Structure 1
Amino acid sequence: MNVPSQGARRYEWRVALVEDHMLQRKRTEELVAAQPGLRVVWSGETLRDFTAWLDTVPEPRRPQLLILDLMVERGASADPAVVRELTRSGLKVLVLSAMASPELVRKILRAGIGGIAGKRDSEEDIVAAIWTVLGRGQWLTPELASVIAGDAERPQLSDQEERALVLYASGLTLEAVAAALGVKKDTAKKYLSRVKAKYATAGRPVGTKLELNTVAQQDGYLDPPSRS
């Protein structure tokens, strides 16, 4: 154990990460660890794993910030009720996510989080978001603000319909969408059929996966492809 010879040891903020993609998780760990005054104390795939770990940790070791991915390819999205309990306990939460349905974003914001950053944001912006949230500020990009404000032309989809749209428009097969949602293939197909019907009713007919991808980007369900 390293003990400083003079003065008090520098204070470090304790940070936890929830991210299901290993490479993204490792890179975020590296990004956090490279910042003086930040230390990763836990890193894992799901919010459920994090809360289970948190229940076993004494107060001096508990994180002060959770960097949270909202949606995963396989499994349930982050539960706003669980996030609300975490923020009420004093934990600061910064969402770092790519797949995020507008409705889920709204619910998570109402849970009292400190901000949302996108995985396509620059690393400088992500670091700035971390420090802003730790400083009790709010971090929200203009693009996300427009998503949260809502769009009268965007159909109102259920949570499962939104997830089916995001997953399918991201390139997954119907079988993979069903597996990710934990439903049968026919049920996933019904969700997508309802999505198409609602868009048709709104005067924005979609029929192909490419068209679904286009409206998903237009309505803020998916990030546009990188042009770099």
Structure 2
Amino acid sequence: MSRVVPDAAEPGAGAAASVLLRVAVIDDHELVREGLASIIGGHHGLDAEVVYCGASVAAAALAGPEIVLLDIDLGPGSTSVRHGVIALQDAGAKVLVVSAFEDAPAVRSALEVGALGFVPKRVSIETLVEAITTVARGELYLSIDLAAILAASAETPNLSPRELDALRLYASGLKLTAVGHRMGISPHTVKEYLDRVRVKYANIGRDVRTRTELYAQANRDGLLDEGD
């Protein structure tokens, strides 16, 4: 039978740890934490206890859970998903990300640093339970739709350095004339570079006609990061 442990540091909380799966829920919204705790603590398919840690990765790490449900956006000044996953792994926990975000960069960044699963907050209770039990076995959990999103985003256009410069400047909000001035070329040449970018996107099945569409897609693909 499942039960809920009100506080991570409550004396005697580890008494049932040998027989119950200890699950910590980290989210900056109390309503979400309470909802997840209620599902986990009351579901007949889970032999688990829930450890409350608020929005604190550090508290969860100290509590010693076997599974952590981690939101990737814990508010301003919070621990990044990268540091959060690594800290929890170092504490011996398996991490299942539960997030309102489900774009390819969010999923990929979580999995790359070691999260064993990623589920959107829109999933059904049964799907969440399946994800928890899968991760508890040390196996990767990723729904079919998220796997498809990752597969579709795997290919990015092969842009030349000048095409990339034009894309970044144009996506920043500059007009063609201003982009040309920054690059030392004519606005007409800037347009040619951007047209080539759009053609290359079209060749991999992505339609980016407007500035907004171009910005959104390039941002998802990580092409606007000046550190690249």
1:25–1:43 Cα contact (<8 Å) kept: no
2:49 corresponds to which residue? 39
Q: Report the structure number with the largest CA radius of gyration.
A: 2
Are 1:194 and 2:172 counterparts? yes
- TM-score w.r.t. the length of structure 2 is 0.58
1:1-228 to 2 correspondences below 5 Å? 11-35=19-43, 36-45=46-55, 49-51=56-58, 53-54=59-60, 57=62, 61-72=63-74, 74-76=76-78, 78-149=80-151, 150-152=153-155, 193-194=171-172, 201-202=197-198, 204-206=208-210
- Alpha carbons of structure 1 residues 73 and 85: separation in structure 2 relative to 1, 3 Å: closer
Q: May I ask how many residue pairs the two structures share in their alignment?
A: 167
Deviation at 1:192, TM superposition (A): 11
Q: Deviations over 1:84-115 (max 9, x none)?
A: 24224421111111124422321210222221
Instruction: Name the structure, 1 or 2, with higher relative contact order (CA <8 Å, separation 6+).
Output: 1
SS in 2 for 1:90: coil
Question: CA 1:62–1:88 in 2, change beyond 3 Å: closer, same or farther?
Answer: closer
Cα distance 1:88–1:152, how it changes in 2: closer, same or farther (>3 A)?
Answer: same
Distance 1:54 1:117 in 2: 20
Structure 2: unaligned runs, 5 residues or longer: 1-14, 160-167, 176-193, 199-206, 222-228
Q: CA deviation at 1:16?
A: 0.7
Identity value in percent:
27
- The answer on whether the counterparts of 1:32 and 1:39 sit within 8 Å (CA) in structure 2 is yes
SS of residue matched to 1:44: coil
Unaligned runs of 5+ in 1: 1-7, 157-189, 221-228
Structure 1 residue 195: deviation in Å? 8.5
Question: Post-superposition shift, 1:31?
Answer: 0.4
Paired with 1:15 and 1:191, the residues of 2 have a C-alpha distance of 46
**TM-score normalized with structure 1 length:** 0.58
